[in-house]
Amino acid sequence: MSNIQNIKQRFGIIGNDAQLNRAIGKAIRVAPTDISVLVTGESGVGKESLPRIIHQLSLRKHGKLIAVNCGAIPEGTIDSELFGHEKGAFTGATSTRSGYFEEADGGTMFLDEVGELPLTTQVRLLRVLENGEFIKVGSSKVQKTDVRIVAATNLNMIEAIQKGKFREDLYYRLSTVEIVLPPLRDRKEDIHLLFRKFASDFAQKYRMPTIRLDESAQRLLERQRWSGNIRQLRNVAEQLSVLEQERAIGEEVLRTYLPSQETHLPAVIGSEKKDSDFGSEREILYKVLFDMKSDLNDLKKLTLELMNEANSDQVRRDNEGLIEKIYGETPTHNEGLLALEQPRKEIPPQQTDDRYDFAEEIQEEETLSLQDKELELIIKALDRNNGKRKAAAAELGISERTLYRKIKQFDIES
């Protein structure tokens, strides 16, 4: 533990949180090796401190430590920045240039925001990690480099792999040892300690008395979520140091420098409210649907009553209209009655008033009638055109291919 405290003093790390101490201890133990390290944690937690510790405690401490922000370099030039390029390799390449991996030979390379690397660059990086080889852009010559890689990211790498944004094999190469830095909200005892350190630094920088928080302001400080972590806390301390004339800061004053959403109730309360609202809306929807079903049943009953009360003449006219629609011609009175009486003889007595069953019987008989009529029309058309299918198809208003299919279907001899 004393070794960890010495390291924290040497590198200006503030805090006594157990998770923070565990991360630093891990960095101290892995430093003398050449193992690749992946530092993970939210944005603003201070991930850049660990690569400095690892480099200074390693056998490469006399070599270079080059830090590269992978998210800040445009995708079109990142290969050139990392691996270098030959003269004329692309527009604007007026001379040969060495890349970071060539410059960092014998030292350490810190790849910040490594999760933002393009997939093509990830392939090149994987080759460096596997055998220390790389090729400059526009060159065919393989070069060697001896570089220790320390990477950092604030992304969930497993999710990035599942979405196809990061190579799984590269992830396991980088994370031979993974060090996780905790967010500031999980280090509540360190929050005021960090604030005091920042306030002291800004007092010296701007040559003014140090600001101090009273107890209520300290409690408010510890209740914040600090989504921006240490970087956000530092900004608040700097604003207070510069803008406030009074050096003693209370809760009300501090509150004006904190984002309004930070003091809201936990998000789970809000989500419960939304769930309850959704539940009430769902109940209303169910009620509307049940009412509609009830209205529909009432409408069915009313329709049946009206149909039962209709006089026989109206029923006959309706039936004749149905026959006309089906057969395409107006039948005589007797023909209409004959057509309707045939299926009605097959209906059991208890179903004679069921108009839907009656309609079904008419449709079944009609299917056969239409088929016979279609066969008759095709035969007549072929006869009139002396068996010429093209002319017969034109007369019937169908394609020759359809006519051929119908001939085969009905087994018509032509």
pLDDT tens profile 230-259 = 999 999 999 999 999 999 999 999 999 998
pLDDT number for residue 274: 45
Element (H, E) at 234: helix 229-243
- What are the pLDDT digits (tens) for 54-71? 999 999 999 999 999 999
Instruction: Give the 3-state secondary structure of residue 13.
Output: coil
Phi, psi of 137 (to 5 degrees): -65, 125
Positive/negative CA dihedral, 66, 67, 72, 75:
positive
Amino acid of residue 219: R
The residues pairing with 213 across neighbouring beta strands, listed in sequence order, are 249
Phi, psi of 28 (to 5 degrees): -65, -40
Phi, psi of 111 (to 5 degrees): -100, 95
pLDDT band at 344 (very low <50, low <70, confident <90, very high): very low
Q: What is the mean pLDDT of residues 348-375?
A: 52
For residues 332 and 351, give the distance between their C-alpha atoms in angstroms, rounded to a whole number.
27
- Token pair recorded at residue 118: 């393009």
In degrees, to the nearest 5, what angle opens at C-alpha 195 toward C-alphas 213 and 188? 95
For 277-291, the three-class secondary structure string (H helix, E strand, C coil) is HHHHHHHHHHHHHHH
Q: What is the mean pLDDT of residues 174-199?
A: 96
For residues 190 and 186, give the distance between their C-alpha atoms in angstroms, rounded to a whole number.
9
Instruction: Please give the domain boundaries of the chain with CATH numbers for all domains.
Output: 2-182 (3.40.50.300), 185-263 (1.10.8.60), 346-414 (1.10.10)
Q: Which of 184-188, 367-371, 381-385 has the weakest average pLDDT?
A: 367-371
pLDDT band at 389 (very low <50, low <70, confident <90, very high): confident
For residues 193 and 189, give the distance between their C-alpha atoms in angstroms, rounded to a whole number.
7
For residues 143 and 103, give the distance between their C-alpha atoms in angstroms, rounded to a whole number.
12
CB atoms within 10 A of CB 326: 16
Statement: residue 53 has pLDDT above 90: yes
